[in-house]
Amino acid sequence: MLLIRLAFRNAFRHRLRSALTILGVMVAILAFGLLRTVIDAWHAGVEASSANRLVTRNAVSLVFTLPLAYREKIRAIPGVTQVCPGTWFGGIYVDEKNFFANFAYEPVSLLALYPELVIDDPARRDDFLKDRKGCLVGAKLAKRFGWKVGDEITLRGTIYPGDWPMTVRAVYRGGRANTDESQLFMHFAYVEESLRQSAPSRAGQAGFYLVGVQEASRAAETARAIDAQFANSPAETLTETEKAFQMGFVAMSEAIILAIRLVSYVVVAIILAVAANTMAMSARERTGEYAVLKTLGFPARTVALLIFGESLVLSLTGAGLGLALILPSARVFGRFMEDFMPVFEVSRLTLVQGGLAGLAVGVLSGIYPAFYASRVRIAQALRRVG
């Protein structure tokens, strides 16, 4: 108990230097937490994936389509529970800067495959299913543009040219924390019927198929069966788990993610150097005190523990303040970035890593000063003081 009290008193003896060190550790841990959360936000789609869902696309590229006739053939494969044709619509609302994800799906199978898209009012759900010009929007997207159920909106097609009027029939909220609430879903039949009139050569095609499987443990087997079904056909398929499909998009930004990850580690390394310098300065200034402690009978190990205690007090105080600020800072940051990162949640792992980083800074920055204090010779130290 005496050593703990001594460690606390010595840690704050030079108040300005201690405050600046704590501030540095706090900012470093805060930056570390936010950078790690940005990386998590990049992987939000991957983490939200289900092991019971597969994605079947054209084996050549996602740019190429698949015949709608594949739907029933996929459905007939053992282990398949649902098949939902879909396509990336790529519509623009008013201006290009209003970017958000919008897809055309077959709505019944979509809602069956994605139970995390929660529509609280069953009547709204029925309205969406019945109205081919109706759309389902996420709660964040509705809030962003001030949309309400019943509002008429128009998307300007890029992949499918023209104006596409539709009615907001329902708003969904995420059933899980990592569910993206900034998407818009419209009826696949709406797109298909319009294409039959305006561009018949593009009709009868799906961008990809969402496939539900009965047993997640047999997902790989089912995927192979689907691809085997269409082997040597004009449009061969590539079926992968939803997680692997999402990882394909994340991999395109792998260099950026790697850079952010490296910066988060560099931030911690820099503050480690700052804290180590602070503790080394403190140890050198108090060489005479260590000699006195040893003269009074304190063993070298106890002196070393005292130095470690001071280092831990400074680093853990700074780390604690940084961790306390991560959650409110992430909420503010996420509010500004919600157009680009719909899911911006601080994970428990990030908090644990931040705490461990603070502990590591405290331990590593105290090693040399503790070693120095434990090896200092009494007569030499007292002579230097005198």
Comparing C-alpha atoms, which of 332, 308, 281, 321 is closest to residue 27? Answer: 321
User: Residue 150's pLDDT is what?
Assistant: 94
Model pTM?
0.75
Place of tokens 């930004």: 253
The shares of helix, strand and coil residues in the chain, as percent rounded to the nearest 5, are 60, 15, 25
pLDDT one-digit tens code per residue, 115-164: 999 999 999 999 999 999 999 999 999 999 999 999 999 999 989 999 99
Query: In sequence order, what E strands does the chain have?
Result: 53-58, 66-67, 80-88, 101-105, 117-118, 134-138, 152-157, 162-174, 183-187, 205-206, 208-213, 237-241
**Which residues have a Cβ under 8 Å from the Cβ of 3 and sit 6 or more positions away?**
302, 305, 306, 309
User: Phi first, then psi: what are they for 66, rounded to 5°?
Assistant: -125, 145
User: Residue 325's pLDDT is what?
Assistant: 93
The three-class DSSP label of residue 147 is: coil
Place of tokens 């398929």: 237
**Which residues have a Cβ under 8 Å from the Cβ of 348 and sit 6 or more positions away?**
none
Give every residue of the chain whose pLDDT is below 50, as ranges. Answer: 386
Comparing C-alpha atoms, which of 186, 199, 109, 92 is closest to residue 145? Answer: 92
Comparing C-alpha atoms, which of 222, 277, 279 is closest to residue 75? Answer: 222
What Cα–Cα distance (Å) separates residue 107 from each residue in 85, 139, 151, 208, 333?
Answer: 9, 18, 19, 15, 33
**Which residues have a Cβ under 8 Å from the Cβ of 73 and sit 6 or more positions away?**
229, 230
**Are the CB atoms for 135 and 144 separated by under 8 Å?**
no
Distance CA 153, CA 133 (A): 10
Report which secondary-structure segment, H or E, holds 229.
helix 219-229
